[in-house]
Homo-oligomer: A and B are copies of this chain.
Amino acid sequence: MVIVSCCRRRATERLCARIPIPVLAVGTFAVLAVASPEGHRWTAGGTGQPAEGRPAAGIARSYEAQAKRILDAALAGNDAYRKLEELCDDIGNRFSGSQNLDRAIVWAVETLRRDGHENVHSETVMVPKWVRGRESLELIEPQRQPVPMLGLGGSVGTPPEGITAPVVAVFDEQELERLGKQVRGKIVLFDHPMSSENEQHGAGYGSAVRFRGAGARLAAKYGAVAALVRSVTTRSLQSPHTGGMGYGDAEAKIPAAAISTEFAAKITRLQKRGIPVTVTLKMEAKLHDEPVESANVIAELRGRERPEEVVVVGGHIDSWDVGQGAHDDGAGCVTAMEALKVLRKLDLRPRRTIRVVLWTNEENGLAGGRTYAKDHEDELPRHVAAIEADSGGFRPLGFGITLADETAQKIATEQLREILTLLEPIGATAVQVGHGGADIGPLRPAGVPCLGLSVDMTHYFDVHHTHADTLDKVDPQDLSKDVAAMAVVAYVLADMPGRLGQPVE
């Protein structure tokens, strides 16, 4: 169901005026389902050779002229970096339930209107409100020292006096299991380093992040009183990384926090030498009882022939409550916004509609993606593709693609491979099978082909979910290439005669 436009405007106005009212909280907390990058298959792109039996040969050839115009226009200069500067410097981080997120939504609506797009509006989404509050971790033994930390999103807090207990460091679940009840009354530290292998594609993230998500549940099983996790990164300058966690069927809800890799390594070293480590963890963290109002932001370039058919492009407007959410995912938002603007400025109106969607609450609930899928259920059969940019505003490498149907996946992969030959000038020709985006995940079961902008992630996890995810880490030239890549692919998918993943008649 599509919310009518006047309601949408009211949602934005309500956000402008809203004063958050804190409410006491115990509640469920949805954990972000991140597709493990380890499940991806990378395939060499850019050959431009038709695969055997591929029905779509010729797509690229027929769009060469438009693609060149789009690339030239996007690379000659665009407004993406300036937009990102406003989002980062004037608003800052944008956590679900925060005034900053409300301001960002208002900003996005106003900016998209100013860019002259059609059907610009916001659509109400109810999101969880978790508030970090004050928090600290102090090493007590063998030496008093403050430990850089960030509580994990969704965690319960500690009693006001904190939890003081010995720390037991483990590498993984197996080591925890071997210790079993020996961790009762203690704090378990999951010191599981993220691998830097194949870092460009973010491959090491999946195996380390599971302890952030599930560490509290695993530790509680054996009677631990809190869980700490080594920050999920390969490079650290005493910089803790937050992120979502969940209790699932946990026997007890114990507080969970991420600590710097430096202190995780130190605690493990001390433990190896038989030196006892005790810490005091204090967290005021609280999940409010009731969800609060937020919104997805929508804007369109209406199709000239089949406006009811839609290519969605977007990123998520929310971020964690630290840093500026520059790479995650301010960059994705402005990439989508600016891709639409480049096409509009070139007066390239495709056959179908291109719809920018800036999702809310990707980081700690995915309510934006789920609500969009539910509210737009009726028109999902006419969604010909959904593309998300949520891997940072780095140099584009190509696109990932995931479809629910295996045959359609094969066809779409070959079609995409050919389309991406149009991106040879910016080197973004790689096809990553099995990659899409968290927000568009809920569209996949309805048969919507899901694509994700792939970028060079070598330095993504340096800043991901940290105080250091700031504008200075984004290279304006890389961001322009992202805009160019997104604009070309969105345009071709929205304009080509057949639909992605369907054999040409």
Q: A residues near B, CB below 8 A?
A: 85, 89-90, 92, 142-143, 145, 148, 235-239, 261-262, 265-266, 269-270, 323, 462-463, 466-468, 470-472
Contact = CB atoms under 8 A, between A and B. Distances in A.
A467 B148 contact: yes
Contact of A239 (B237, B323, B470, B472): B237
A287 to B, nearest CB: 24
Contacts of A261: 472
A236 B468 contact: yes
Contacts of A236: 237, 468
B463 A237 contact: yes
A472 B265 contact: yes
Nearest to A146: B467
A262 B468 contact: yes
A269 B237 contact: no
A471 B268 CA distance: 12
A7 B423 CA distance: 75
8 contacts: A89-B270, A148-B467, A236-B237, A237-B238, A237-B466, A238-B466, A239-B239, A269-B471
Contact of A238 (B143, B145, B468): B468
A89 B262 contact: no
B471 A266 contact: yes
Nearest to A148: B467
The residue among A89, A237, A266 with the most chain B CB atoms within 10 A of its own CB is A237
A171 B284 CA distance: 41
Contacts of A323: 238
Contacts of A89: 266, 269-270
Nearest to A267: B89
Nearest to A239: B237
A271 to B, nearest CB: 11
Given A90-B142, A261-B472, A262-B472, 17 more contacts: A89-B266, A92-B143, A148-B467, A235-B237, A237-B462, A237-B463, A237-B467, A237-B468, A238-B239, A238-B323, A238-B467, A238-B468, A238-B470, A262-B470, A265-B472, A266-B471, A269-B471
Question: Quick one: copies of this chain in the complex?
Answer: 2
Given A145-B92, A239-B238, A269 B466 contact: no
A97 to B, nearest CB: 18
A189 to B, nearest CB: 15
Contacts of A262: 468, 470, 472
Nearest to A264: B472
A237 B468 CA distance: 5
A208 to B, nearest CB: 16
Nearest to A261: B472
A111 B141 CA distance: 23
A265 B145 CA distance: 30
A90 B323 CA distance: 33
Nearest to A82: B273
A257 B447 CA distance: 57
Nearest to A459: B235
Contacts of A470: 238, 262, 265-266
The residue among A235, A262, A468, A471 with the most chain B CB atoms within 10 A of its own CB is A262
Q: Which 6 A-B pairs have the closest CB atoms?
A: A237-B468, A237-B239, A237-B237, A238-B467, A265-B472, A262-B470
A267 B323 CA distance: 15
A83 to B, nearest CB: 13
A262 B472 CA distance: 7
A311 to B, nearest CB: 34
A90 B143 CA distance: 8
A196 to B, nearest CB: 14
A387 to B, nearest CB: 30
A470 B147 CA distance: 13
A29 to B, nearest CB: 27
Contacts of A237: 235-239, 462-463, 466-468
Contacts of A463: 237
A241 to B, nearest CB: 10
A270 B471 CA distance: 12
Contact of A269 (B85, B92, B269, B462): B85
A85 B266 CA distance: 9
A323 to B, nearest CB: 8
Contacts of A235: 237
A270 B462 CA distance: 25
A89 B266 CA distance: 7
A354 to B, nearest CB: 31
Nearest to A90: B142
A414 to B, nearest CB: 41
